[in-house]
Amino acid sequence: MEKKSVGIWIRVSTEDQAKGESPEHHEMRARFYAESKGWHVAVVYHLEAMSGKSVMGYPQTKKMLKDIREQRITGLIFSKLARLARNTKELLEFADIFNEEDADLISLQEAIDTSTPAGRLFYTMIAAMAQWEREEISDRVAASVPIRAKLGKPIGGQASLGYKWEGKELVIDEQFAPVRKLIYELFLKLKRKKTVANVLNEQGYRTRNGSKYSDATVVRLLRDPMAKGERRANYTKSLGEGKKWEYKPESEWVITACPALVSVELWNECNRLLDQLESKRKSLGPQPKHLLAGYVQCTCSKKMYVFHKSTTATYMCRTCKNRIMESDLDEIFHAQLKTFLLTDINMSEYLQKVQTELEEKEKLASSVQAEREAIKKKMARYLKLRIDEEVSKEVFAEEYKPLEEQLMQIDKQLPELYADVDFLKIQFNSSNVVLEDAKDLYTHWNDLAFEEKRNIVETITDAITIGKEDISIKLSYVPSQAQSPTFPLNGGTSQRNYRGS
């Protein structure tokens, strides 16, 4: 029968050696034990004068673990547990590794030899200790989380995009705050999470770790109430390692105030749109071809769709056979705008909104410009490393190409961004003209492109209900800085019934 191969672990600190404990003495004792068991000593690991506070990073430790995993040795002899590791956490790690690799730990002073039935009890005890310690730590952490959260202190993890921790205070991160706000504005306009992610990536934006945006990231950021000034903590729990997280009961959540990045109205509107998307469980589909498509319904609550008879397009309910010509409904909607748009606009309030949007756009442009400079410096650094042959061609290409792509995207986006800034500056300086133009929207409605009209319809329309004798048009609008200031609208809701078919 082939002899069992073992290793001998020698770690004697300088302090221990001063007390007369020599490495040779420990090695001899271990060899005698191996000989009595009929084992072959394959290797001796020397860690003389090394601290036992943390041993996992030592080269000899890594070599020993490699030998265990490659089955060069199937056991390790040491004089006592404190010689293997003084750190309880590392001792538990060693026990787990040896147990997984079906290898033995032999501690001479504690008379632990896991190759014997009695010694195998050691693994059971160690596992129990490890579980107890994990549960104790988990309980202590869980108990401290709500308290720390209520005090507004960090509870672990990175702050949400647009924020950062300065000491124990949560503050706005000026580098990413404009991007976080842009995500809400884009979603309000585009109403598609994947489209928002694509636009961000195409314009050269990246997450804090340099990754591209995904639709999941967009949704997570839109859902996070921190952006509207509500920091949520102690609201999730893990179902176990490698498993999903789930929400705790709302009674356990801790909500504290924090600096807001967007208005409550903008946050609520974006989340309302997300709720709609999730309830449908499908994408919004292709862009509509009819101005009021998707908003027209029958009094029986069924959607009405456009059907073509000869050259006449007609909205019709398949259930009730209720119908109305598309041209007639468009004309009625146009008439409703006259009483809805700009009836009681507040000039100072409007100017403040334009100025706020201008400042946000300028911050965003500044942030993108700073990101461009940082990328150029990083590219220059990699280029120098390549010229000095400190990196291979393969590594250079792998690191340099994504930066080059991101720089091109940013260079494409910056002119558009600065154009937006210029537009808003002009808009602000000529506000009286803008307001007059907005008041004339009713007059110029027929001159607008279909896309511009549709954007206004989607912004202000809740529902259009077609009855046998009347038509109910319900309009509502929550103002936000995401909307173009070209056509500012008054807040509130409007509903009017029209007689006729």
As its CATH architecture, domain 163-280 has Alpha-Beta Complex (3.90)
Q: What is the 3-state secondary structure (H, E, C) of 27-85?
A: HHHHHHHHHHHCCEEEEEEECCCCCCCCCCCCHHHHHHHHHHHCCCCCEEEECCHHHHC
Name residue 219's beta-bridge partners: none
Count of residues in the chain: 501
Looking at residue 471, the DSSP 8-state letter turns out to be E
Q: What is the pLDDT of residues 109-124, one digit of tens each?
A: 767 777 776 666 665 5
What radius of gyration, in Å, describes the C-alpha atoms of the chain? 35
Amino acid, res. 32: F
Going 68 to 71 to 76 to 81, the CA torsion angle's sign is positive
Residue 276 burial by CB count (10 A; 0-12/13-18/19+): exposed, middle or buried?
exposed
Provide the sign of the torsion angle of the four alpha carbons 74, 81, 115, 22, taken in this order: positive
Structure tokens given for 384:
């120098």
Structural tokens at position 354: 């334009």
Distances in Å between the Cα of 155 and the Cα atoms of 132, 142, 158, 259, 399 are: 23, 10, 9, 18, 34
3-class state of residue 298 by DSSP: strand
Task: Write out the two tokens for 163.
Answer: 């924020």
Strands 104-107 and 75-78: parallel
The correct answer on CATH 3.40.50.1390 for the domain covering 5-133 is: yes
Listed by start position, the domains of the chain span: 5-133, 163-280, 296-492
Number of DSSP helices (H) and strands (E) in the chain, helices first: 16, 18
CA–CA separation, 12 and 475 (whole Å)? 81
Identity of the amino acid at 58: Y
3-class DSSP string for 183-210: HHHHHHHHCCHHHHHHHHHHCCCCCCCC
Would you write out the chain's pLDDT as a tens digit for each of its 501 residues? Answer: 678 999 999 987 655 554 556 788 788 888 888 888 889 999 999 987 777 678 888 999 999 999 999 999 999 998 887 788 777 678 778 888 888 898 988 888 767 777 776 666 665 555 555 555 555 555 555 555 454 545 555 555 578 898 888 877 888 999 899 999 999 999 988 888 889 999 999 888 998 888 899 999 999 999 999 999 988 776 666 555 555 667 677 777 777 888 999 999 999 999 998 988 877 654 445 667 888 988 999 999 899 988 876 568 899 998 888 989 898 999 888 888 776 655 545 556 666 777 888 888 888 888 888 999 999 999 999 899 989 888 898 889 998 999 999 999 888 888 777 767 766 665 565 555 445 545 556 677 887 778 778 877 876 788 899 988 888 988 764 333 333 333 333 333 445 455 543
Q: How far apart are CA 473 and CA 464, in angstroms?
A: 5
- Biggest alpha carbon distance in the chain? 108
Q: Is the dihedral of CA 434, 436, 437, 441 positive or negative?
A: positive
Rounded distance between C-alpha atoms, residue 499 and residue 466, angstroms: 10
At 175, is the secondary structure helix, strand, or coil? Answer: coil
Q: Are 468 and 501 in contact (CB under 8 A)?
A: yes
Binning the chain into helix, strand and coil, the percentages to the nearest 5 are 50, 15, 30
Query: d(Cα 410, Cα 188) in Å, to the nearest integer?
Result: 23
Token pair, residue 54, equals: 């943390």
Q: What is the pLDDT of residues 169-227, one digit of tens each?
A: 888 999 899 999 999 999 988 888 889 999 999 888 998 888 899 999 999 999 999 99
Q: State whether the Cα torsion 60-63-67-68 is positive or negative.
A: positive
